[in-house]
Amino acid sequence: MVSHAWCRALCAGLYPGAPRRLQGWGSAAFFSGSPSSSTNDGFLKEKRAQIMSRGLPKQKPIEGVKQVLVFASGKGGVGKSTTAVNIALALAAHDSTKAVGLLDADVYGPSIPKMMNLKGNPELSPKNLMRPLKNYGIACMSMGFLVEETAPVVWRGLMVMSAIEKLLRQVDWGQLDYLVIDMPPGTGDVQLSISQNIPVTGAVIVSTPQDIALLDARKGAEMFRKVHVPVLGLVQNMSVFQCPKCKHETHIFGADGVRDLAKTLGLDVLGDIPLHVNIRETCDAGQPIVISQPQSDMAKAYLRITTEIVKRLPTPPA
């Protein structure tokens, strides 16, 4: 069930002056996506028409946030969230004077709460803004903090876009040098909403070397170009598997596919992450490898990629 405090904030924007609608939140009918009456459908169509008539939104920075980095992939299951979490931690490790935040923009399948070992509902500030939950020095916000762990979020596009707007604007981020946004897979509403509403410093595309993943990774890179978001480079994830017994290396998902794509697109490869059980186990345990095994080869791979990312960032505003 969705947090009531947050529902009030979301409904205030989507259904002005209608707090009683909250009584239906969390019900089976609401989350099934089936309208209780034709009134809701009519309202959504009218709201959509109003939004479309305004044209593209004007970008407005997130208060207190200097630079925004988005991690994206066209295809799900390529390790994008694992990469985003470890890079956020690596950014903090790279320069301990920098404040880092992590936003989970995957409304339908949030991963950050488990990977960052965080539970609970955000508290509200005196200004009625949600306060991020913190662990390992990283301020985190996710839809996963606002719904039960097993509860599906079955929302239409307009609801999702309104939720993303609240996650961006109704959070007390404080002062951040970097806000890392873990995008959902694909090139849909969430990607467009974020890219068009806030100034994004740069995008990082994560993919495995597999041909089927590369097809969608290319679409992701092209989408950011179309909305004028700089693509900092590509990360080749699950690049190679080394047998723990004989040390033989196998390219399970193919070799150098991301490098070939980068050449085609005229982009840089920021680095490679191996396919290793420790990366999976540490994230599942809520202790990402950069923080739990900082001297490991895998953690060092994330740190090298972080160095490459920072090199490509413009000088932040004062």
To the nearest 5 percent, what fractions of the chain are helix, strand and coil? 40, 15, 40
Find the distance separating the first CA and the last CA of the chain, reported in whole Å. 41
Q: Average pLDDT of 284-297?
A: 96
**124 bridge partner residues:** 130
| pLDDT 10s digits, 294-314 | 999 999 999 999 999 999 999
* Cβ-Cβ contacts under 8 Å for 294 (sequence gap 6 or more): 93
Burial of 243-265, coded b for 16+ CB within 10 Å and e otherwise, reads eeeeeeeeeebbeebbeebbeeb
Please report the pLDDT score of residue 18 as a whole number.
35
Please report the pLDDT score of residue 19 as a whole number.
36
pLDDT category of residue 23 using cuts at 50, 70 and 90: very low
Beta strand 249-250 pairing with 138-142: unpaired
* Cα separation values, 259 from 78, 269, 282, 306, Å: 16, 6, 27, 18
Please report the pLDDT score of residue 130 as a whole number.
95
Identify the residue whose tokens are 């090298």: 304
Please report the pLDDT score of residue 266 as a whole number.
96
Global pTM exceeds 0.95: no
Question: Which of the residue ranges 27-41, 157-171, 239-253 would you say has the lowest mean pLDDT?
Answer: 27-41
* Cβ-Cβ contacts under 8 Å for 276 (sequence gap 6 or more): 241, 242, 298
| pLDDT 10s digits, 190-239 | 888 898 889 999 999 999 999 999 999 999 999 999 999 999 999 999 99
* Cα separation values, 158 from 43, 51, 165, 295, Å: 11, 10, 11, 44
| pLDDT 10s digits, 8-17 | 555 444 444 3
Bigger pLDDT: 29 vs 123: 123
Which H, E and C letters describe 14-57, residue by residue? HCCCCHHHHHHCCCHHHHCCCCCCHHHHHHHHHHHHHHHHCCCC
Distance between CA 295 and CA 215 in Å, rounded?
Answer: 34
CB 224 within 8 A of CB 194: no
Structural domains in the chain plus CATH codes? 66-312 (3.40.50.300)
Distance between CA 315 and CA 102 in Å, rounded?
Answer: 20
